[in-house]
Chains A and B, each alone.
Chain A
């Protein structure tokens, strides 16, 4: 039952200019499991996931110490190719942001960037990705239409399909349902359940029921520090720290 560690975070600190946003975080993320990160707004959980594919590199004045091992290789080593890293570690953002182009071109964007030009290969990848994101049945007859014409929930599944298309190993979800209604949210949660068979998943969420429903492991962040981490059931049924208990029982947050 115990699977290997896909990601090992060691002594991770992060500063935005002078302000420390992450403090001495240590965490293991298991392969092909869903790890949920919960905590009040501004606790650093989104900042934390953005470290895993180095999206924070794009923000000025960010300084990071410590290491994150992906398959035992530190992604902050100097010889790491950030482009290759982001291909392996995909990301789904808070709000769906389809590119203003057709559904097909949205999904084919990643593969094309990574050099796939052959039409048949692209078509195959697009279909696989849409099937993988449970969107194929809804859009297979209109791949040429503008992706912006899809509903919000469909757009978010499109964005998931788009990240699947570059064949990642890890997918980071940064509050993927915060802009969606309950039905669309339910579909994304079902999808995450399916995806965990093939991918390692980290999901940041404000919604504790969601964390309880979709995840195998849960980490509770407070003020930039991972306060408690464990099997989701243990965290929710037997939190060891008082702050964790207060948060999950809704006493603050």
Chain B
């Protein structure tokens, strides 16, 4: 009898724990949705802010976010995929691969605000003459550093999932290493690499701390990469911190969450395609 009751108690406790997750998620999403939906409209997304953000739209922040993410990806995608390719195709496991992998993992563990401080020192103070100081370029590169480990890891897994035997068959027909990578490894790994890239975009677009020192509230469309601009996350921070407009802040938050949810949905589709590809194993 006792054990039966214990079973029942455990079941209730576990069920409640699971329920908490759903409740937390729904309340966060719901709260942002209820408070933000009133602010969102086409003009909110596509108009310039007016009256110190209290009216008008958040267009500059959307453009800024897109630019920053684009810069981050333009830097991190080639470097990350390249590193992964080096690890899987050009090195056997050993000291060098261990050092690279540990560095990448350590990079992943660095708190995002520390990335911000590092980016500020490197791109704004040290390389300010080349990056335009606290510019969208500096912010994008800082985010690029931050998403590098994710891209390396997901690309590495994707390339390793391409069976070794397929590479051997390719070499056996007289293909060179590069031909094998281009025709066999990359096509097989593309869904996995793309998944990693989209996840990284989602992370980059949602981060505030790494770019908080570089992106200020700025009601204009950035003229170039070297100019200053603002992003959805930093705008959200300033709008709420300085009590400018909670309504616009929630509208921004909802926009941001919709962007990230959309990216996650796209990732899911890619993952499905990836698992279909793995059928051959």
CB within 8 Å of A: which of B250-281?
277, 279-280
Task: Please indicate the chain B residues that have their CB under 8 angstroms from the CB of A84 in the complex.
Answer: 174
Instruction: Tell me if B169 and A97 are in contact (CB < 8 A).
Output: yes
Q: Select which of B173, B176, B179, B277 is within 8 A of A90 by beta carbon.
A: B173
Instruction: Tell me if A113 and B172 are in contact (CB < 8 A).
Output: no
Q: Which of B168, B169, B171, B277 has the most CB of A within 10 A?
A: B169
Task: Please indicate the chain A residues that have their CB under 8 angstroms from the CB of B218 in the complex.
Answer: none
Task: Please indicate the chain B residues that have their CB under 8 angstroms from the CB of A83 in the complex.
Answer: 174-176
Instruction: Tell me if B280 and A166 are in contact (CB < 8 A).
Output: no
Q: Is B32 an interface residue (CB 8 A)?
A: no
Give the contact stretch, choosing among A25-33, A53-61, A186-194, A217-225: A53-61
Task: Please indicate the chain B residues that have their CB under 8 angstroms from the CB of A197 in the complex.
Answer: none
Task: Please indicate the chain B residues that have their CB under 8 angstroms from the CB of A58 in the complex.
Answer: 168, 171
Instruction: Tell me if B168 and A87 are in contact (CB < 8 A).
Output: no
Q: How far apart sit A85 and B174, CA to CA, in the bound complex (Å)?
A: 7
Q: Is A93 an interface residue (CB 8 A)?
A: yes
Instruction: Tell me if B279 and A53 are in contact (CB < 8 A).
Output: no
Q: How many residues of B contact A (CB 8 A)?
A: 21
Instruction: Tell me if A99 and B173 are in contact (CB < 8 A).
Output: no
Instruction: Tell me if B277 and A100 are in contact (CB < 8 A).
Output: yes
Q: How far apart sit A53 and B173, CA to CA, in the bound complex (Å)?
A: 10
Instruction: Tell me if B184 and A166 are in contact (CB < 8 A).
Output: no
- A60-B92, A100-B280 in contact; A109/B165 too (CB < 8 A)? no
Task: Please indicate the chain B residues that have their CB under 8 angstroms from the CB of A23 in the complex.
Answer: none
- A100-B280, A148-B280 in contact; A109/B170 too (CB < 8 A)? yes
CB distance from A108 to the nearest CB of B (A): 11
The 6 closest A-B pairs by CB, nearest first: A87-B174, A86-B174, A110-B173, A91-B172, A97-B165, A83-B174
Beyond A83-B174, A100-B280, A101-B187, list 15 extra A-B contacts (CB 8 Å). A53-B172, A55-B172, A58-B168, A58-B171, A86-B171, A86-B172, A93-B169, A95-B165, A97-B166, A97-B169, A99-B169, A109-B183, A113-B173, A162-B169, A163-B172
